[in-house]
Amino acid sequence: MKKIGVMTTGGDCSGLNTVIQRLYRGATLRGWEFIGILDGTDGLCENPPRIIKFKNDTLPIEAARLAGSFLHNGRADALNFETAAKAGKIERFNKQIRKALLELKLDAIILIGGNGSLSLAWCNKEIYTGLQLVCIPKTIDMDIPLTDRTIGFNTAVQQLTSFCDQLMLTARSHHRWFVTQTMGRDCGQLALNAGIAIGATAILIPEIKFDVDALIKHIKNAPTDYGIILVSEGISLRGHSGKPADMISRKLTAAGIVNRTAYPEHTQRVGDTTAADRILATRMADCALRAIENNETYVMTAINDCKCETVSLKDFFDSGSVTADPNIPDIKTPDAYVSPDDPLLQIATDMGIYIGESK
């Protein structure tokens, strides 16, 4: 009988509970013992490690659709790879994790995390020697290379779409514009997808240069006198500082365009998990359990060409555009961005959306 542990690390998103519940169910069907580690690496480092043993009613099926992580993701200042690295205590931290994993007698650990967590797991791979490490990618930013989808992205697009759908109604009543700032770090996928869903007038993303005068002209020539300008949090405007939506809003005001700003913030990370995210979570949980059965290790589940399969963490780490992560000294994370030939860019332009000066 195998004993497997699961933990959620990094920022939360919708779909985490679905993966956990499906993992539990699949593990139980195989006759495996299943434990949850609370607060990610923080819980693992405590003496004794903070864990829960799952039973059938621990995470009921009807609760599996809820956002957040039933296992928690850890406080921002808690002991994790990031804070340990910053404090120069990574060696001691690694030792603690290794000790906990051995103490728990785990055969496999499933780490549900984003770019940073997966990169750190790969860079500190000795910790997992002798047990299997299987990762499941989650993030609303959809910036993880080697997978076409990440858990939480679809629900975030839905949340943002619903938020903007409501704004559009008040925008119309008052003949004015809403400059709405999305999350996504330096990846524009969230803004691009939601922008197309709502029929935004403009979508500004970090990957594509834009021109403020062209944006103003586009808004003034738009067929409506109201609408949404979706601005990804990762954009910048030379010579300006502050929140991107505020910067754009000021420019529009100066050009006589009546507007307001809106910040959906963390509402993008919550909301009932969409059916698409639940199905993705179920497929990834199934893939992770099969990987454990097949004795795979240092792998990540991924969706490519509609197939769910594992890719090696090494390939993940060696791919994408590698950038230094300001939060994690000495570590680089591979990032995926909106590619210049993403078909959605041309579609947006053809729909009359100002997307920047891409062509």
Q: How far is the CB of 234 from ligand F6P (least distance, A)?
A: 8
Which amino acid is residue 68, in one-letter code?
Answer: G
- The distance from CA 207 to its chain's CA centroid, rounded to whole angstroms, is 17
Residue among 109 and 156 whose Cβ is closer to ligand F6P:
156
Kindly state the tokens that stand for 72.
């928690």
Which amino acid is residue 282, in one-letter code?
Answer: T
Catalytic residue among 12, 39, 42, 141: 141
Q: How far is the CB of 76 from ligand F6P (least distance, A)?
A: 6
Nearest to 70 by CA among 140, 1, 23: 23
- The continuous run of DSSP H or E covering 135 comes out as strand 132-137
Q: How far is the CB of 225 from ligand F6P (least distance, A)?
A: 31
Q: 19 near 285, Cβ under 8 Å?
A: yes
Residue among 140 and 291 whose Cβ is closer to ligand F6P:
140
Q: How far is the CB of 175 from ligand F6P (least distance, A)?
A: 31
Tally of CB atoms within 10 A around 75: 11
Residue 46 burial (C-beta neighbours within 10 Å; 0-12, 13-18, 19+): middle
Contact residues toward ligand F6P (CB under 6 A) are: 11, 76, 114, 139-141, 183-185, 233, 269
Residue among 171 and 300 whose Cβ is closer to ligand F6P:
300
- Is 341 in the active site? no
Pairing state of beta strands 307-312 and 299-304? antiparallel
Q: 136 near 288, Cβ under 8 Å?
A: yes
The whole-angstrom separation of Cα 286 and Cα 291 is: 9
Assign 150 to helix, strand or coil.
coil
Residue among 11 and 227 whose Cβ is closer to ligand F6P:
11
Q: Which residue is nearest to ligand F6P (CB)?
A: 183
Residue among 139 and 310 whose Cβ is closer to ligand F6P:
139
Sheet architecture: strand order including 108-113: 51-53, 33-37, 3-8, 108-113, 132-137, 299-304, 307-312
Kindly state the tokens that stand for 290.
């099969």
Q: How far is the CB of 190 from ligand F6P (least distance, A)?
A: 7
Q: How far is the CB of 103 from ligand F6P (least distance, A)?
A: 30
Residue among 114 and 137 whose Cβ is closer to ligand F6P:
114
Give the residue numbers marked as catalytic: 141
